[in-house]
Structure formats: C-alpha cells, structure tokens
Amino acid sequence: MVVQRDGTLNFEEEAGPKDPLGTTQEPLNSAKDAGDPVNNPLTELKSVILSLEWEITDAVLGRFVDEIDRLKDAYSDDEVVVSFLGLLDSVGRYIKAHKGKAHPDAGKLLNSIYLSVERVILSKDMTDQEKRAKLSSELERFKALKEKIALRKAAVERKQGLMGPDQAKVAARAQKDEHGIQKAESSPDEAKERQLEAHEGHVIPDESLRLAVEGLKQLVQEEFKALREELRQLRESKERLI
Amino acid sequence: MAFVNTKNREIQAKIVYYGPGRGGKTTNLEYLYNKFKARVKTELVTIKTHGDRTLFFDFFPFDVGTINGYDVKIQLYTVPGQVKYDATRRLVLRGVDGIVFVADSMSVRREKNVLSLRNLQKNLKTFNRSIFKVPIVLQYNKKDLAEQGIPLLPLQTLEKDLNSQLRAPTFEASALTGLNVVPTMKKIISITVASLFKELK
Amino acid sequence: MTYMLGQQQLDAIEEVLLHDLFDVGMDCIFLIDMAGNVIANLDNGEIKHDIYSLAALAAGNFAAVSTMAEIVGEHEFSLLFHKGEKESIHFSRVASDFLLITIFGKGISLGFLRLKVAEATEKIKRILEPSVVR
C-alpha cells in the first residue's frame, strides 16, 4: 500500500483464482474517477475500507459506520445505493461485533460490495437493470456468507459438546429460518421472482428489487434477534457451569 | 539461548564464528558445509555484499546426532567481521551458546585480532553475558600462508594476545585447506553441549 | 542460558496455532525464539519451506528492524510485514524472547490476520511464561 503525495491511498490487489464467493479481486482504484476526491463521493468510505485491510480497530470501524450513515442520507433517494449501503452496514457491524472471531470471508465480501457500489455510483452509462443485477448478486454473496457463518457456528457448538450431531442439523436449519434465508426462498413472492428471472433472462424487475430490499431488512432484524438469543443461551450455560 | 524440546527430545543450540574481517569465518563454514552436505538437508544461507564480504550472516543447521537420548541440532552462524558492521554482529550474537573465535595468523593482523576479541567481549556484555562464561574455542587460521612466505604470528604471541586469560582450547588451522576445521567444530560442539547438559542438571 | 518447554506447553502452543491461526486459513505458522530456534511449526502440507533457514533469517530480520526502530527513536515498530505476489509473511513479537511468524496467501486480509495473531500471541505468552531458565 502506498500513500500518494495528495494523501489518497493506492492499493493493489492481484486477481486470483475464483473463491467460493465468486469475488474477483480487482484493484480498488480501478474505477476511472476513483482517485479524484472531487468526482468520487466515496473517497472517505474507500479510505476507511482500505484502512480495514490493514487494521481492524474500533476507531476505524466507527469511522466506517459513520460514513455509511452519512452516505445513506446523501443517497436517500436512490433505493439501489441505499440497499448496497445497507449490505455494507450489516457486514461492517458483523465484523465490529465479532472482530477476530468473524468469518474470514467477511472482509472479502466487504471489498466486493464496495467495488460494486463504487461502480454503480461512478458509472455514467450503467442501466437501472444492470445496477439491480449487481445488487442482487451481492445479496446472494451476502446470503452465502450468512450460511457459512451458521454452519461454522453449528460445527463449533458440536465440537464443544453442547449438542449432538442431530441437534446441530436442526439448529443449523433453525438458524437459516431465523435469518430469513429459507423463509425468503419459500415465500410465494420469491417463487414469482424466480419465474420472472427465468422468463426475462436474469433481468431483475422493480418488484424483485423491492423484495430484495425487504429480504435484506428482514435479514438484519433476524440477525439481531439471533444475537440476542445467543447471548441469552451463553448466560444460561454460564449459570449452569457455576 | 539453547532450547530443550522435551516433547521431541531435541536440543537446539547456536554457535557463532566470530573474528576480524577477512579472517576466515565464512571459509570455515563453507568448508564444513561442503564436507557435510550429504547430512545437511538445507542450503547454506549467505547474505553477502557484492564484494563477497559477509553482510549479515552465514548459516546452516547441523544435525549432530543423539546425545544422552536427545537429538542435538546445532545452528552454525558467522558474523560480518568489518568494523562498521558492529550493530549487525551484536544481533547475530543474540542467544549464542558457543563461540569459535577465528583469529587471522598474519602478522599484519595482530592488532585487528585483539580489537575483535575485545569487541566480542563488549557485545556479549550488552546481553549480560561474560566472555569467560560462554563456551569458546580459538582458531588461529591461515597457517597455509607460511608456505608462501607470508609472515605469520608465532603461536606464543597469539596465545599471549588472545588466550592468556581465557584459557580456551586452541587450534592452528587453515580454513582454505581444511586443516583442523572439523576438529575446531567438534570441540566447540562438545564443550557447548556439555555446558548445556551441566546447566540442565 | 537454556530454557525448556514441556510436552504440555508445546501441545498447548500447537493447539493455539492450529485453532486460532491454521484453521482460519494461514499456510504456514512457526514460533521461534530470538536466537532463531524453532519451537513449533505448522503448515498446510503443500508447503516445503526450509523452516530452519527461515527461522534464522526471521530472527535476524526482526532484530535488524528492531535496532533500526531504536535508532529512529521508536521503542519498536508495530507492524513488520512483507507482501508478496502470492504469499505474504507477518512477524509478531511474543513476550520479549519469541517471534510468531505467519505465512499467508491472498485469501486472508492483513487486518483480519493481525486480529487473529494478537489473540494467539496473548495465549502463547501465557503458556510460555513459566519457562525461561537463566
């Protein structure tokens, strides 16, 4: 990483083989106006995300959350951008809550979502449909990470002997339900979305975007609910040990 | 700082070849490496200048074999001898368990030998170590130059300059031809390991 | 100057290296002392690095950088890290006499690695505490 004389950061990430999340690690400064603070309203956010590459601290994560809030206000009229920012917010808060215990793929997802939203904001000729397609694919990656986290948690609990293998499966399924992923997939609206996708060749209409946003809101709510439940269980198990 | 691994029953110890610049420290190690290459599974590590002077250190690990039920692995290092590399010499000396002081037998190097030995004493002190307490062997190198008519310091002089207080084992040697290179190494390994076992009792 | 580590301590150290670092995706981890002795090491089986040479060089490198820090008036530098095209290497001091070295690929961010290493370092420090014999 090199600090340029004008104070901006120049970060190089080499492209590597496809990872499970399908994230292509492009250089974070690949967008045309990315280095120009006047034309790139995401300069501060980019700087914070680059800082997180080097050091994950409460101070940097605090700056991250503040910047996301600021951008949400600035782009309150743009549903797609706000959804992207919501995803970033969710992943950022997850990393903040878990720090070293966070899933290693969370950082990669953060970079991937950032690159997508930067493209969406800075691109002059991206169509609405293309923007929603990008959002949808980031949402899929987000869901994939949540599943990984749930499976990892179940594996850890199984290891610690808090539950047997069958209970672990049930818990993993229950967690999926709690996080709204299974529910979203089994809802009639979601099925409609799939039909539309099949007919229109992966073009995402307004209705599906609305559903995606709703699904995201639900996910965030479910996550907080799951966290509270986890805390309660932890407290109970501590009492039992005593 | 020797490390005793009671799980693997292994002892790792560090021996450093010290001495004035161009005295033959690296030549010692190169000779040993070439002689024992078959037993050493790794390459000889050397960090040199373009002029082939040691810049940081030379290194290779040497498996001595089993002593008292422990696998003894010796890490052999040299230091850069030039005066300007004192800071580097100090950090290579860190954690040393045994030292071979390679003195240059050439008459013109008499003063450099003494200065280098004093430098060793000073650098050991920075780690709160005494030169009198660390296992040490003296090697009076370049004996082969006598054949070429180059004036060499007599043994008496070298002993008086360098060994009057230390009373360390000494070897007259020629790192280039291999004379007494292996015996020097064997001696320092044996007194180092003996000292370690004594400490562990 | 010798120190000893018992089976329990070494097992405990390997546990930390395995669960806190290796299972998270590091390629090669080794714990050494400042003299360059290798105390513990784990790798992913594909790696065939010369650990003993790496240890000697790592100890020398760290010592050289620490000395530079003192010269410029710093107590120590908080980050010693070398970035490669495919593999990178990170150094972390553990107590005053040991070094934890991690080699990792592009799948792990440095920020995340530093968090994991900081946690592991604390645990290893506690395991090593009773050991040094002088």
* Whether residue A10 is found in the same domain as residue A90: yes
**Residues from chain B contacting residue C10 (CB–CB below 8 Å):** 5-7
CB contact (8 A) between residue C108 and residue A25: no
User: Where in chain B are the domains?
Assistant: 3-200
CB contact (8 A) between residue B129 and residue C1: yes
* Whether residue A231 is found in the same domain as residue A197: yes
CB C116 within 8 A of CB C24: yes
* Whether residue A96 is found in the same domain as residue A179: no
Nearest to C111 among A14, A25, A55 (CB): A55
Instruction: Pick the more confident residue, B190 or C132.
Output: B190
Q: What is the mean pLDDT of residues C58-80?
A: 92
Nearest to B61 among C6, C35, C52 (CB): C52
The total of other beta-carbon atoms located within 10 Å of residue A135's CB is 26
CB contact (8 A) between residue C108 and residue A104: yes
Q: What is the mean pLDDT of residues A87-91?
A: 94
* Whether residue A57 is found in the same domain as residue A177: no
pTM: 0.73
* Most C-contacting residue of B75, B90, B126, B131 (CB-CB within 10 A), to test interface: B75
Among A23-27, A150-154, B95-99, C120-124, the least confident range: A23-27
What's the confidence (pLDDT) of residue B55? 85
Residues of A with CB under 8 A from a CB of C: 13-14, 16, 19, 25, 52-56, 99-100, 102, 104, 107-108
User: Is there contact between A and B if contact means ≥3 C-beta pairs under 8 Å?
Assistant: no
**Cβ-proximal residues to A185 (8 Å cutoff; 6+ apart), any chain:** none
- Residue A202 covered by a domain: yes
CB contact (8 A) between residue B42 and residue C53: yes
- Residue A85 covered by a domain: yes
DSSP state letters, A98-137: HGGGS-THHHHHHHHHHHHHHHHHH-SS--HHHHHHHHHH
* Whether residue A158 is found in the same domain as residue A93: no
Chain C: nearest CA to B148, how far in angstroms? 38
CB C58 within 8 A of CB C33: no
Domain boundary among A71, A101, A126: A126
Give the C-alpha separation, A216 to B35, whole Å.
69
User: Which of the listed CATH numbers 3.30.70.360, 3.40.50.300, 3.10.580.10, 3.30.2420.10 matches domain B3-200?
Assistant: 3.40.50.300
Domain boundary among A102, A126, A150: A126
* Whether residue A222 is found in the same domain as residue A170: yes
Residue pLDDT, tens place only, A154-209: 887 887 776 555 555 554 454 444 443 333 333 444 444 444 444 433 444 455 56
Q: What is the mean pLDDT of residues C12-26?
A: 90
* Whether residue A109 is found in the same domain as residue A175: no
Domain that includes residue A240, residue range: 142-242
Q: Does B171 touch chain C (CB under 8 A)?
A: no
Q: Is the ipTM of this complex over 0.90?
A: no
The token duo for A233 is 């269980």
> Closest chain C residue to A15 measured between Cα atoms?
C106
- Residue A84 covered by a domain: yes
CB B68 within 8 A of CB B48: no
- Residue A137 covered by a domain: no
Nearest to B1 among C1, C5, C6 (CB): C1
Q: Does C109 touch chain A (CB under 8 A)?
A: yes
* Whether residue A105 is found in the same domain as residue A5: yes
* Whether residue A114 is found in the same domain as residue A185: no
What's the confidence (pLDDT) of residue A11? 37
* Whether residue A107 is found in the same domain as residue A40: yes
Domain boundary among A80, A102, A126: A126
**Residues from chain B contacting residue C50 (CB–CB below 8 Å):** 42-43
Q: Look over chain C and give the mean of its residue pLDDT values, rounded to a whole number.
A: 90
- Residue (of B53, B139, B56, B137) closest to B104 by Cα position: B139
pLDDT band at A14; cut points 50, 70, 90: very low
- Residue A136 covered by a domain: no
CB contact (8 A) between residue C112 and residue A13: no
CB contact (8 A) between residue B7 and residue C10: yes
DSSP state letters, B137-189: EEEEE-GGGGGGT--B--HHHHHHHHHTTT---EEE-BTTTTBTHHHHHHHHH
CB A179 within 8 A of CB A223: yes
* Whether residue A12 is found in the same domain as residue A49: yes
What residue ranges define each of the domains in chain C, with the CATH number in brackets?
A: 15-128 (3.30.450.30)
The sign of the CA dihedral A149, A150, A154, A157 is positive
Kindly list the partner chains of chain A, i.e. chains with 3 or more CB atom pairs below 8 Å.
C
- Residue A194 covered by a domain: yes
Q: Does C114 touch chain A (CB under 8 A)?
A: yes
> Closest chain A residue to C109 measured between Cα atoms?
A53
* Most C-contacting residue of A11, A14, A64 (CB-CB within 10 A), to test interface: A14
Counting the structural domains of chain A, the total is 2
